[in-house]
Structure 1
């Protein structure tokens, strides 16, 4: 705990995914105080034509109150 799920279009290299997973793990442990062994990260590739129905509507629109960073907005 925690488990981070990253949904993205296909095409990113395994090296980039590993780098991102390492960066997220470092930040989770530093900010939340969990040990490295408590963090898990997965990547789910979603084809661009499926993005709206599989990600945008169920995860962004229907769960807008859970978002801390919305698409199209800077932090």
Structure 2
């Protein structure tokens, strides 16, 4: 606990994904008090063509109560 899944468009380098996973891990440890060994981070590449059906509709539109940072808004807007 916890497991974080990042869904993103293809095209980011392995280095970028590794850096993002490290940053997420560090922040999860700091914010939730989790040990590094208990944090896992996955990257799931979804094509732009499939984004609406595979991500936006099921994960964002149909689960608004689970969204803590909405697309189209800056964190300062929340």
With structure 1 as the length reference, what TM-score do the two structures score?
Answer: 0.99
Structure 1 runs of 4+ aligned residues shifted over 4 Å read none
Residues 8-19 of structure 1 mapped to structure 2, 5 A cutoff: 8-19=8-19
Instruction: Give CA-to-partner distance per residue, 1:36-68, whole Å, 9 cap, x none.
Output: 000000000001110000000000000011100
Unaligned runs of 5+ in 1: none
Unmatched tracts of structure 2, length 5 or more: none
CA–CA distance in structure 2, aligned partners of residues 44 and 18 of structure 1 = 13
State TM-score, norm by structure 2.
Answer: 0.95
Equivalence for 1:32 = 32
Q: How many pairs align?
A: 75
Q: Tell me the residue number matched to 1:60.
A: 60
